[in-house]
Amino acid sequence: MNMLVAILVRDMRLAVRVGGGAFMGALFFLIVITMMPFAIGPDLALLARIGPAILWLGALLASLLALDRLFATDHDDGSLDLLMMGQVPLELTVAAKALAHWLTTGLPLVVIAPLLGLMLNIDLHALGWLALTLAAGTPALTFIGLIGAALSVALRRGGLLLAVLVLPLTVPVLIFGVAAANAAIAGSTPFGPAFTILCALSLFSLVLGPIAATAALRHGLE
C-alpha cells in the first residue's frame, strides 16, 4: 500500500513540476472550446443545444492527447523497468499510475468544464450536473486509454497509433456521457439511467484497463 501511495505521489509530483505538462490538457480543452464557435458560428441557441456534445468531445480529445505521457517518459529513463521488477503486482502499479494521471489531467478538465459550459451558453443550473457527468466519465477515458498507452509504448510507437486504437473503444463512454449531460440540461429524458451506466463503464474499465495494460507491458517489454 505504501509503495502504491509512493508511486501515486511521485507521478503527481512529476506531472505538476516543470516539463510535466499536467495542465496542458485543460489548456487544450479551453482552446478547442474557443475554436468551436469560430467554426459553427456565434449562434447562442445552437451552441447551447450542442454544447454538451462539444464539451464531451473536447474532453475526450484532451484526455487522449495526454495519454502519451503515461508510460513514455518512464520508459525513456528506465524507471518503467524498475517498476515492472518491483514487488507490487504490476496491475496495481499501473492502476496507481493511471489514477495519478487522471488526477493531474482528467480532474482539471472536470474543474474547468463549468466555465467552458458558461461560454457555450449552457443553463447555469445544469453546469454542476454537466461537470458531474465528466467526473464520472473521464476515469473511463483514462483507464481505456491506459491500454492504448501500454500497447504503443511496448511497440515504441506513439501519437496517431494510440488515437486509432483507443477512440473506437470510447464510443460507449461518449454516448452515455452526452446522453446524461443532455438529460441534465433539457430534462426531457431521465438523468439516472444514462448516468449510472456511465459510472458502470468507468468501474468496468477500472478493472479491465490495468489488467490489459499489464499484459501489454509484460508481453511487449520482455
Which positions lie near another protein, rule CB under 8 A? 147, 151, 154-155, 157, 161, 164-165, 167-169, 171-172, 175-176, 179, 197, 201, 204, 208, 212, 215-216, 219-220
User: Under a CB-based contact definition with an 8 Å cutoff, are residues 130 and 119 in contact?
Assistant: no
Q: Which of 37/204 has CB closer to another protein? A: 204
User: Residue 16 Cβ, how far from another protein at the closest point, in Å?
Assistant: 31
User: Residue 172 Cβ, how far from another protein at the closest point, in Å?
Assistant: 4
| Cα separation, 64 vs 25, whole angstroms | 9
DSSP result, 112-173: HHHHHHHHTT--GGGHHHHHHHHHHHHHHHHHHHHHHHHHHHHTT--THHHHHHHGGGGHHH
Among 151, 4, 14, 144, CA closest to 74: 14
Among 6, 24, 27, 5, CA closest to 15: 24
Q: Which of 26/94 has CB closer to another protein? A: 94
Question: Which cell is 136 given?
Answer: 464520472
User: Residue 193 Cβ, how far from another protein at the closest point, in Å?
Assistant: 9
Q: Which of 12/208 has CB closer to another protein? A: 208
User: Residue 106 Cβ, how far from another protein at the closest point, in Å?
Assistant: 20
Q: Which of 15/173 has CB closer to another protein? A: 173
User: Residue 220 Cβ, how far from another protein at the closest point, in Å?
Assistant: 6
User: Under a CB-based contact definition with an 8 Å cutoff, are residues 16 and 82 in contact?
Assistant: no
| Cα separation, 153 vs 94, whole angstroms | 13
Q: Which of 138/182 has CB closer to another protein? A: 182
User: Residue 36 Cβ, how far from another protein at the closest point, in Å?
Assistant: 20
Q: Which of 27/164 has CB closer to another protein? A: 164
Region of 156 (left: φ > 0; alpha: ψ -120 to 50; beta: rest) is left
